[in-house]
Structure 1
């Protein structure tokens, strides 16, 4: 402990300031990173001041600024740079980290996918009957059709005079009201 006291007393005031910011900011930064990587910060259904709405001032950007500001200041002072130059480099590093974090957080909403099935995309696509479709629109059956990059099981009717049994290859010729597909036997 005595060595620490000697080291601390020998530090210039600016270096003490950097170290006083670096240690707590780094701990908070590492905890936030660990929680983010584990997905813990994404499952909360509440107002979150660290939301990725592109805001420059958030908990993540403030912690990132102080973490990189302080460590850059420590590194430049230890390399022998003048105090004013160390402060300039530290400010530049902190600002660059804030810019990078805001940019990265603005990309997060673009990672979401819309899982809505757009039935219009099923038009003229071929598929296979999954549950028998009764003839002449007298009832509903089900077909499997590739829509939106995935195989969907959708309700279907037919105008054919005979029923379409399971495994029959069909083509979607119309999307009816209510999202029911009108299909015919694939020739």
Structure 2
């Protein structure tokens, strides 16, 4: 992830210490120039300034650049059950960062304008969003690679968006009812499915994610 620096600027005014005092009883206003009278200064400290903040921004960016350069992207490590157990980086063939929770290695996202009957995949590519699924781009169908419990989302802005598993309608979202649906389903290895909208030219989107 790249760090984008912000350029800080000092506040510039004509009278930095000037204050306006108002008598709330009479409404009379008086301008006063205020200056510090702090006695003995035991430590001056660091003044807030644009130069200091810009220096901090640059030091943070330098560290981000160093980390990004050393990692050079992540490759997921997937075990035999389909769960991601860690990531490898170009820092070394055996460099793995394990974790115990979070994304668990079975995810598919489909989105697009319907051409014919099946929703066209446009925003996903295997290896980037697909884990635990195979996808047949010509048939616009996915195949489940692991048994488990999957959560799914269906969303529509018009018409119907439906989830089919093994060519059977499971559930659909509609603009006249629930426009977005969240639910779970038990799937087996080898099950096939697709996200579709009911008319050509309609938009459909949805995802499935293995949760157990």
- TM-score with structure 1 length normalisation? 0.23
Could you say which structure has the larger radius of gyration?
1
Structure that is richer in helix per residue: 1
TM-score (norm 2): 0.21
If asked which structure has higher relative contact order (CA below 8 Å, sep 6+), I would say 2
